[in-house]
């Protein structure tokens, strides 16, 4: 594949082991009417990094991603994406970004190859036929090349959409909930491919709702209601929230849920298979509330808090 035609040297962000961040923005803000959808968010993402972007629906993730790739102009804040100013040089960012939306956005009445050829034309890819054949081979789409895109399964549509993102050899992938609605095997295959691309120096910013996917990222950011609440590695975010979690086993656990909820220090009571997880940030209050229940036939064991429990805690703090 060849780089997209543009007025800049090829592939910023993929040249050598540059220490400059691929994304470096401060105070990025977007307002629609009277509602601030993204509220002064800072972010730095390194070359070759897989950066997970998490948060509830309506939190501002998609708006933030669209500002980065030049589809929306920020109302406040400043910074760079791939070395270009996000406010003043949006048109120079676009040729070097692969953007994949939540919804399959290719033409369902065109074949796999026709879709990829069309995207390659849009980006002005040189030696277009060879580039299309290479991406079809790389993404294992050979047997579907002449099949209508609309007849593919969800997993293969996802693979085709990622192929379209890669046809022009971008330096940055902005993937907006790319695995929504596909089966676990297809999600795993997708993430294997993303890690291969990261190994080649391609940076990926990926929004997701899946905690197992979040744990496959190098670093994470959690956004809720337009505000950035936490950032770091999985272990850093879990440690910073300071949750204490107990695993409870024994009979009639479902009746225990309502008895525990609302007690001082008890912030979450969640069924996990044949156990309960009980969590809170005030360890002393939590222990005092649980003490009357810590007798046979129930068994309590302190465990490490998981990422889902941490994010639920963050979201509750954001609305309190």
For residue 318, is pLDDT > 80? no
- Dist. CA 213–CA 208, nearest whole Å: 7
- Classified as helix, coil or strand, 224 is strand
Helix H or strand E encompassing 223: strand 219-224
Chain centroid to Cα 215, Å, comes to 10
Q: Please give the class, per CATH, of domain 23-233.
A: alpha beta
Instruction: Give CA–CA dist 17/199, Å, rounded.
Output: 12
Asked whether the predicted pLDDT for residue 183 surpasses 80, the reply is: yes
pLDDT at 18: 52
pLDDT (0 to 100) of residue 192: 93
Where does the pLDDT of residue 49 fall: very low under 50, low under 70, confident under 90, or very high at 90 and above?
very high
Collapse the DSSP code of 217 into the 3-class scheme (helix H, G, I; strand E, B; otherwise coil) and give the result: coil
Confidence of residue 56 (pLDDT cuts 50, 70, 90): confident
Cα 270 to its chain centre, rounded Å, is 24
121-166 pLDDT, tens digit per residue, is: 999 999 999 999 999 999 999 999 999 999 999 889 999 999 999 9
Residue 20 has pLDDT above 70, yes or no: yes
CA distance 67 to 270: 36
pLDDT score at 3: 40
pLDDT per residue as tens digits for the range 88-98: 999 999 899 99
Q: Which pLDDT band holds residue 48 (cuts at 50, 70, 90)? A: very high
| 12 band by pLDDT with thresholds 50, 70 and 90 | low
Closest C-alpha among 193, 233, 203 to residue 217 = 233
Residue 12 tokens read as: 């910023």
CB 98 within 8 A of CB 139: no
Task: Please report where in the chains the tokens 């905690």 appear, as a residue.
Answer: 211
Whether 23-233 and 244-304 share one fold: the answer is: no
Residue 206 · residue 51 · CB < 8 Å? yes
Quick one: average pLDDT of 268-289? Answer: 96
Residue among 251, 308, 254 at smallest CA distance from 279: 308
Q: Is the pLDDT of residue 17 over 70?
A: no
DSSP letter, residue 151:
G
Examine the pLDDT at 223 and tell me if it is beyond 80.
yes
CA nearest neighbour of 6 among 127, 91, 132: 91
d(CA 311, CA 168): 36
User: Helix (H, G, I), strand (E, B), or coil: what is residue 171?
Assistant: coil
Q: Residue 177: what pLDDT?
A: 86
Tell me which architecture the domain covering 244-304 has in CATH.
2-Layer Sandwich (3.30)
> What integer pLDDT is reported at residue 320 of this predicted model?
63
Of 147, 16, 26, 160, nearest to 85 by C-alpha is: 26
Altogether, the residues listed in the chain come to a count of 320
Instruction: Quote the percentage of the chain above a pLDDT of 90.
Output: 75
DSSP symbols for 276-300: EEEEES-HHHHHHHHGGG-STT-EE
- Domain extent listing, the chain: 23-233, 244-304
The pLDDT score that the predictor gives to residue 247 is 98
Instruction: Give alpha helix (H) positions in the chain.
Output: 61-68, 90-93, 112-123, 128-138, 154-166, 184-199, 211-214, 234-241, 253-260, 283-290, 307-319
70 has a pLDDT exceeding 90: no
Cα–chain-centroid distance for residue 50? 9
Mean pLDDT score of the chain, rounded to an integer? 90
Q: What is the mean pLDDT of residues 25-42?
A: 96
Q: What is the pTM of this model?
A: 0.86
Question: What mean pLDDT comes out for the span 255-267?
Answer: 95
């Amino acid at each position: 594949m060849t780089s997209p035609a543009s007025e800049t040297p090829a592939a910023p962000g993929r040249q050598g082991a540059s220490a400059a961040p691929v994304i470096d923005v401060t105070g990025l803000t977007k307002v629609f009417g009277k509602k601030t959808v993204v509220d002064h968010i800072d972010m730095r993402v390194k070359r070759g990094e897989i950066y997970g972007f998490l948060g509830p629906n309506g939190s501002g993730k998609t708006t933030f991603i669209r500002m980065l790739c030049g589809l929306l102009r920020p109302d406040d804040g400043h910074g760079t994406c791939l070395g270009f100013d996000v406010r003043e040089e949006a048109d120079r960012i676009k040729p070097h970004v692969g953007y994949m939306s939540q919804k399959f956005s290719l033409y369902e009445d065109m074949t796999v190859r026709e879709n990829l050829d069309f995207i390659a034309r849009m980006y002005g890819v040189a030696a277009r036929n060879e580039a299309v054949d290479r991406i079809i081979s790389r993404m294992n789409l050979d047997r579907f090349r002449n099949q209508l895109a609309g007849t593919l399964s969800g997993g293969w549509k996802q693979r085709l959409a990622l192929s379209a993102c890669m046809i022009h050899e971008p330096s940055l992938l902005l993937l907006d909930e790319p695995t929504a609605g596909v089966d676990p095997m297809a999600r795993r295959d997708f993430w294997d491919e993303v890690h291969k691309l990261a190994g080649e120096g391609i940076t990926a910013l990926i929004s997701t709702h899946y905690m197992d996917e979040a744990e496959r990222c190098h670093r994470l950011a959690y956004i809720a209601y337009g505000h950035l609440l936490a950032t770091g590695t999985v272990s850093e975010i879990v440690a910073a929230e300071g949750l204490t979690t107990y695993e409870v086993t024994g009979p009639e656990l479902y009746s225990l849920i309502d008895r525990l909820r609302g007690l001082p220090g008890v912030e979450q009571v969640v069924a996990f298979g044949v156990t309960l997880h009980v969590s809170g940030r005030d360890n002393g209050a939590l222990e005092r509330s649980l003490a009357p229940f810590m007798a046979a036939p129930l068994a309590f064991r302190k465990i490490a808090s998981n990422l889902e429990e941490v994010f639920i805690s963050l979201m509750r703090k954001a609305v309190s």
